[in-house]
């Protein structure tokens, strides 16, 4: 039987596993222009917590995720994992930490080698970190395939093209979990799947979270997906975090006008009684190459005043621990 991570020390829920502090990531566009895809973002995730990260396409969600797993060069900031700054660690230290922080992506099919059998793909991370014993690798592969709902006898020797999108996402989850990570980053893991399959994968993620005592960062542009799976939610706009609150509070009473408009723009299910729309966005998202001064949201904010154009609001903490970066919080 697959042994869960029960032996790990039980930690207090309010202990932070990950703290991202003032993270700034720049991309060079052509020879002269630069964009700040992430502009001083800060967030933290408690041990055993699921933090949702939402925002419109291009706001910097994936760039934060890629920075945490070391796939992205960072200009400035700190990424503290279990008390250690990942941006300052020695190579030796990073070799130990990397297996503990794993990521799954939106396009699971593309993330698999089409010429490699599924069983071998799942086993590969163990080989990479130096597990020499073939039998042990095989055993763990077998067990993790069962855990994610893939029949090892039937499926280990098949190729990715024989699998559906949902099954490929199960395979990438198995590849991530085989290393027994503590932190799992899910970057839009269900966005390309049919709605019925989305529910299955979300349930699987919840089960795996309990079974392996995972801490999760769950990224999606879809607020309804994030709502159910997250304990807390961070909202991002144009490279900045504009609000962080418990999932329940954020959806019940958003404090940042951007969050409120995002929530109002979620389409009602066909069966829901028709309500009057609470508000809609006006204007386009500005280019991250030329972000507006002051509050980056002021060009689209229905409540903007002069100060919003001039002074950038800080991410302030309110009673109950929720945070919002707005001069006139709702
Ligand atoms: N390698 C790159 N080179 C140049 N610009 C990039 C690169 N990667 C991302 N960007 C830009 O950085 C910004 C943030 O991108 P990012 O992918 O992090 O956003 P996102 O919120 O995850 O969006 P999506 O949901 O569409 O993936 C965007 O303007 C994007 O075009």
Residue 284 domain boundaries: 257-267+274-330
pLDDT given for residue 131 in this prediction: 81
For the Cβ of 107 lying below 6 angstroms from any atom of ligand 1, the answer is no
Residues of the chain with pLDDT under 70: 1-13, 267-279, 281
Instruction: Please name the residue whose Cα sits nearest to atom 24 of ligand 1.
Output: 57
Closest residue to atom 7 of ligand 1, CA basis = 27
Residue of the CA atom closest to atom 3 of ligand 1: 27
In a domain, 322, yes or no: yes
The residue whose CA has the least distance to atom 30 of ligand 1 is 58
The domain total for the chain is 1
Q: Ligand 1 pocket: which of 29, 61, 223 to mutate (most atoms <8 Å of CB)?
A: 61
Global ipTM: 0.97
CA gap 67, 69 in Å, rounded: 6
Q: Do the domain assignments include residue 291? A: yes
Q: What confidence score (pLDDT) does residue 272 get? A: 52
Identify whether 38 is part of a domain. Answer: no
Please check whether residue 67 lies inside any domain of the structure. Answer: no
Q: Is the CB of 62 under 6 A from ligand 1?
A: yes
pLDDT at residue 289, rounded to an integer: 87
Task: Work out the angle at residue 18's Cα, subtended by the Cα atoms of residues 222 and 48, and round it to the nearest 5 degrees.
Answer: 70
Average pLDDT, the chain: 89
**Ligand 1 binding pocket includes 291 (Cβ within 6 Å):** no
SS3 68: helix
How far is 239 from 234, CA to CA, in rounded Å? 12
DSSP H or E run through 21: strand 16-29
Find out whether the beta carbon of 41 lies less than 6 Å from any atom of ligand 1: no
Q: Is ligand 1 within 6 A of the CB of residue 63?
A: yes
Global pTM value: 0.90
pLDDT at 5: 45
Q: 301 in a domain, yes or no?
A: yes
* Tokens 């060079």 belong to residue: 28
d(CA 330, CA 326): 9
3-state per-residue secondary structure call for 128-191: HCCCCCHHHHHHHHHHHHHHCCCCHHHHCCCCHHHCCHHHHHHHHHHHHHCCCCCEEEEECCCC
Question: Does residue 230 lie within any of the structural domains?
Answer: no
């Amino acid at each position: 039987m697959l042994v869960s991570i029960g032996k790990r020390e039980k930690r207090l829920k309010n202990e932070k596993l990950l703290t991202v502090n003032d993270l700034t990531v720049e991309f060079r566009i052509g020879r002269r222009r630069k964009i700040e895809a992430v502009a001083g973002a800060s967030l933290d995730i408690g041990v055993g917590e699921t933090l949702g990260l939402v925002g419109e396409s291009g706001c910097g969600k994936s760039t934060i995720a890629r920075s945490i797993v070391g796939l992205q060069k960072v200009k400035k900031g700190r990424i503290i994992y279990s008390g250690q700054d990942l941006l300052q660690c020695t190579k030796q230290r990073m070799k130990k930490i990397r297996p503990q922080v794993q990521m799954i992506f939106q396009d699971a099919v593309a993330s698999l080698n089409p010429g490699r059998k599924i069983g071998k793909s799942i086993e590969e991370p163990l080989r990479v970190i130096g597990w020499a014993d073939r039998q042990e690798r095989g055993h763990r592969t077998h067990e993790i395939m069962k855990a994610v709902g893939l029949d090892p006898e039937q499926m280990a020797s098949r190729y990715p093209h024989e699998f559906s999108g949902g099954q490929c996402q199960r395979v990438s989850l198995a590849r991530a979990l085989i290393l027994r990570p503590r932190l799992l980053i899910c970057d839009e893991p269900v966005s390309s799947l049919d709605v019925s399959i989305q529910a299955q994968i979300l349930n699987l993620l919840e089960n795996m979270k309990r079974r392996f005592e995972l801490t999760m960062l769950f990224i999606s542009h879809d607020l309804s997906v994030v709502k159910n799976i997250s304990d807390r939610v961070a909202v991002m706009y144009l490279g900045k975090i504009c609000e962080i609150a418990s999932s329940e509070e954020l959806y019940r009473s958003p404090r940042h006008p951007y969050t409120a408009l995002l929530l109002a723009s979620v389409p009602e299910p066909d069966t829901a009684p028709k309500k009057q729309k609470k508000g809609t966005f006006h204007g386009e998202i500005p280019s991250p190459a030329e972000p507006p001064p002051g509050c980056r949201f002021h060009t689209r904010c229905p409540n903007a005043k002069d100060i919003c154009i001039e002074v950038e609001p800080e991410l302030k903490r309110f009673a109950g621990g929720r945070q919002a970066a707005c001069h006139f919080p709702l």
